[in-house]
Structure 1
């Protein structure tokens, strides 16, 4: 047998070792980086989910978390064959819940237990044992093993040894090496996996008047008010403006969002410039600085109808420089400008308990008092130049973002250590750490659905703007920078539209 034939045999054995033993419907243990092997089932792939370029991958549904991911065959084991070994490998409540759900699925669907051999020692966590076993075999030959063929020459023995080394290296690269080609493929599959489906955010009942709003006994202004942007915060604000008796004109990029507000008494306008034309004072609450600028400077934008008898209030979370640019443009047309940043999220916007931070034209601030009373529990006028309110808001957002990242890492650490997260929250509520933000987001982490109250991408935007402010002041912000990277990664994984508490998912990797 020549060298070419030995090479061919070695290659054939390697290919056989990597053969795909799985099909759709199979129950498996699938291991993602940073997690214990998790019970799952191979299902048909979703059309909108990109498949990794590597071969021998399957689309796996994870019980318990109800998440999905492309997984390599090398990262999976047959469920029934490894059940006894792996079902108690993790003591956390989510894992035990996942095991309970796959077992319930087996019973409900009468899944037959296949006749499988006992598992060998090459599971996801046994690479060290395998290495030790290999060493033992080298130092202590097995006396009962089949004797070598007498006709085998030195070249054949050398070739056989090379073949064993190739197979061993291949196996090691699949099970242990973090820098290997296969490990990189697993990471790629992880990054391309679809985000966890968040719970639907309950629809806003525009006609519902909260007790908080009733208790305020607001006397609405006789002025006409416009509102640009009906997102999570904007829709809650407009609801309270309407229910407190204000005369409101609305516009939103996706017009269908206006229907409920029109039914409640608002009037829909076709463009931002139409709103400016129809209103005495117009509020804007859109997604980010660029959209805020587009609304003002774009086609059919705010500037087209701005005049000396108009007021413009920017409520979008922006940086001081953007606010100053908008102020200059509004003032150049004779209009009055006020920035009014808000602290709070979906619940506070709907209940009318936001905190409002304002800077700019003082007379405009005074004319908006009945609106601010409907929107929030407090409004502050920060003396000085336009931009002070934006700076104050970013300072508070930086503090909130770093706090949330710390909460997420602590909850992930507790889970990995086998502690009950509910116990962590109960104890935390009795300590000096207890505050509404920590309690609300801690409970969201435990529940795991992450319905959007404050989008993660908005928090990451504020962290980025906070860092830019630090750069302009030559102030190092190392904690903010690290936190921003965590939120950027969570956004890259597909959680930008989820609630900010979903940064927890990132901390588990």
Structure 2
């Protein structure tokens, strides 16, 4: 395909997955002018997009049969395998010359497997996981980490620009997923610091809003602190990214690290702490709900603090 083939006037897009982030990402593509056929496991989550003009398909395969380029963002590697490689998966429906863009945080090895199977069907597969949570998805400011055929990646620039403010080609198939592992390692460690800092401020008797304003723009500032710190202070556990999905991601990090003969004790600690939060009922809460597990260690009920 030439670059011009990826303009809204030339191609029809497919979209699979309309969860916390996927719905907003698809909406940005539609607002750019792309026509979209979509599938979501829970149709009700797709209704706003259908009302805006998207077409419904009953399976990922049916999405692909109606599309030139198919994007997917689901939950777990098993979900990726089902919606891409299953009997009713997207790969079975894409015609020769089509492009498959998988944006779920998943296994680098699975990204390579998909790319190799896609080539057998004369389809190009790209792995393009994202970072930025629900805020980045809603605002179109995601960071997109991309692996796969570089000319194809560059031809998709209008799509990347619609969904994100930063997209970088990282290398061959799987490189996008490896880069997301770097991202999740930073995210996991950073959230521990955010939560422990706010716990300290609380126990020291500081006004949390005032303490936040004092440090958010200094050397201690971060995306997590600026965007999720206020949610923690307000007691807002609504998910921008589910804890259970981060636990999945940290399992991937540790498995890949083991394959590289690399020890990451900080990630091991983070996974244990997030598991505590999930076991306390926060698996479907946002990652900022880690505060409850850390507070509990000190005997603090964060939900009912004074």
Q: What's the TM-score, normalizing by structure 2?
A: 0.90
The answer to whether 1:379 aligns with 2:167 is yes
Q: State whether residues 313 and 339 of structure 1, in contact with CA within 8 Å, keep that contact through their aligned partners in structure 2.
A: yes
Structure 2 counterparts to residues 55-454 of structure 1, below 5 A? 220-383=8-171, 385-454=172-241
Partner Cα separation in structure 1 for residue 146 and residue 111 of structure 2: 12
Paired residue secondary structure (1:386): coil
Structure label with greater radius of gyration:
1
CA distance in 1, matches of 2:280, 2:102: 31
SS where residue 299 of structure 1 aligns?
coil
Whether the 8 Å CA contact 2:65–2:95 is kept in 1: the answer is no
User: Residues 309 and 500 of structure 1: is their aligned pair in 2 closer, same or farther, counting only changes over 3 Å?
Assistant: same
Give the aligned CA root-mean-square deviation in angstroms.
1.6
> Following the alignment from structure 2 to structure 1, what is the Cα–Cα distance between the partners of residues 97 and 280?
47
Is the contact made by 1:220 and 1:371 (CA closer than 8 Å) also made in structure 2?
no
Greater helix share, 1 or 2? Answer: 2
What residue number does 1:198 align with? none
**Partner-residue secondary structure (3-state), 1:382:** strand
Which whole-Å deviations, capped at 9, do the CAs of 1:256-311 have from their partners, x for residues lacking one? Answer: 22222111011111111101110001001001111001112223112322332211
Whether the 8 Å contact between 2:91 and 2:100 is mirrored in structure 1 is no
In the TM superposition, what is the alpha-carbon distance from 1:432 to its structure 2 partner? 0.5
Once the two structures are superposed, residues 228-247 of structure 1 have per-residue CA deviations (whole angstroms, 9 ceiling, x without a partner) of 00011110111111111111
Distance between the aligned counterparts of 1:399 and 1:332, measured in 2? 36
* Structure 1 position 500 matched with structure 2 position 296: no
Kindly provide the CA deviation profile for residues 150-198 of structure 1, in whole angstroms up to 9, marking residues without a partner as x: xxxxxxxxxxxxxxxxxxxxxxxxxxxxxxxxxxxxxxxxxxxxxxxxx
After TM superposition, the score normalised by the length of structure 1 is 0.55
Given that 2:13 and 2:36 are in contact with CA atoms closer than 8 Å, whether structure 1 keeps it comes out as yes
1:322-342: CA deviation from partner (whole Å, max 9, x where unpaired) = 111221221222211111111
Contact 1:337–1:364 (8 Å) recurs in 2 = no
> Is contact 1:221–1:370 with CA below 8 Å preserved after alignment?
no
Q: 1:473 aligns with which of 236, 256, 260?
A: 260
1:232 aligned counterpart, secondary structure: coil
* Number of aligned residue pairs: 291
Change (3 A) 1:221 1:492: farther
For residues 465 and 269 of structure 1, what CA distance do their matches in structure 2 show?
31
User: Matched residue of 2:126: which SS?
Assistant: strand
Structure 1 residue runs without a partner (length 5+): 1-218
Query: Helix, strand or coil: the match of 2:21?
Result: helix
- 2:302 is matched with none
Aligned counterparts of 1:425 and 1:258: Cα–Cα separation in 2: 37
Q: Following TM superposition, by how much is the alpha carbon of 1:430 offset from its aligned partner in structure 2, in angstroms?
A: 4.5
Give, in whole Å, the separation in 2 of the partners of 1:281 and 1:303.
11
State the SS of the aligned residue for 2:130.
Answer: strand
CA distance in 2, matches of 1:472, 1:430: 38
Cα distance in structure 1, aligned partners of 2:155 and 2:226: 36
Q: Shift in Å at residue 221 of structure 1? A: 4.7
The CA distance in 2 between the partners of 1:280 and 1:331, in whole Å, is: 15
Mapped partners of 2:236, 2:93: distance in 1? 44
Does the 8 Å contact 1:306/1:330 carry over to 2?
no
Shift of 1:380: 1.1
Task: Kindly state the Cα deviation for residue 442 of structure 1 after the two structures are TM-superposed.
Answer: 1.3
Residue-by-residue CA offset, 1:376-420 (whole Å, 9 max, x unaligned)? 11221123x311111111111111111101211222233233333
Which fold has the larger relative contact order, with Cα–Cα distance below 8 Å and residues 6 or more apart in sequence? 2
Contact preservation (8 Å) 1:230, 1:252: yes
